[in-house]
Amino acid sequence: MGAARVEVLRGVDLEVARSELLFLRGASGAGKTTLLYILAGLERPDSGEVFMKGEGECAERSLYDLKRRHQAQLRNVQVGYVFQHYCLLPDLSALENVCLPAMIAGCCQRQHATALLERVGLGDRRHHRPTELSGGEQQRVAIARSLVNDPEILFADEPTGNLDSVTGSGVMGTLLEIARETKKTLIVVTHDSTLAALGDRQLELTDGRIVG
């Protein structure tokens, strides 16, 4: 007997403007993270397409029509991702974690990474490993890491989900401030309606559909 098919997203049609700060909110299981993963190129959909306006070979093409190496290049250079659980490498310092995407791209600049850590208030913690940092500090490292390749789009999946309200508010404030200053497109998944109200637009997902 085969496994039952689970339909997570249903007829989602979404357009996000350049430099827009968009919040996707909804209850647990609504499909928010799945949608974010698909938009970011982390999870291939069963049907449908994702278009990103870019330059050169990736311009005006469906993300999932690109060859795998071009998808990987796009994810590394044009996209920054902030995970709920930080996803920092435990054996690397904060500075080395921030440098990692740039090292993969072959253009690591420690001075730039250091400047990003200073921008998120962690210049004096750059040589500390994740276990020596608080949850809020680890998330700030993750934000700096997402910015190191100067991506056009930032994705954040419940970036304050593991933080207390005060720390979470500070982390979200930093993320929004940087996105506005650098005119980056920011797409955030959250269940918190208060945080969602801080963006330019908010949409709600219910049972895999955008309802408002």
Inter-helix orientation angle 135-147/165-181, to 10°: 10
- Please tell me the predicted confidence (pLDDT) of residue 25: 92
Q: What is the CATH T-level fold of the domain 21-26+75-210, as seen in this structure?
A: Rossmann fold (3.40.50)
Question: Beta 21-25 vs 201-206: how paired, if at all?
Answer: parallel
CA distance to 4, 96, 123, 174, per residue, from 40 (Å) = 26, 23, 29, 21
**Which region holds residue 109: left if phi is over 0, alpha if psi is between -120 and 50, else beta?**
beta
Least confident of 5-9, 149-153, 206-210: 5-9
| pLDDT tens, residue by residue, 153-202 | 999 999 999 999 999 999 999 999 999 999 999 999 998 888 899 999 99
What is residue 27's predicted lDDT score, i.e. its pLDDT? Answer: 85
Residue 209: strand pairing partners: 206
Model confidence over 51-82: pLDDT tens digits?
887 555 445 678 888 888 888 888 888 899 99
pLDDT tens figures, 78-112: 899 999 999 999 999 999 999 999 988 787 789 99
Average pLDDT, the chain: 89
DSSP state of 56: G
Answer yes or no: is pLDDT of 2 > 70: no
**pTM across the whole model:** 0.90
Q: What pLDDT sits at residue 54?
A: 59
Give the whole-angstrom CA distance, residue 199 versus residue 187. Answer: 9
Reported as a single tens digit per residue, the pLDDT across 124-150 is: 999 999 999 999 999 999 999 999 999
Parse the chain into domains and list their residue ranges.
21-26+75-210
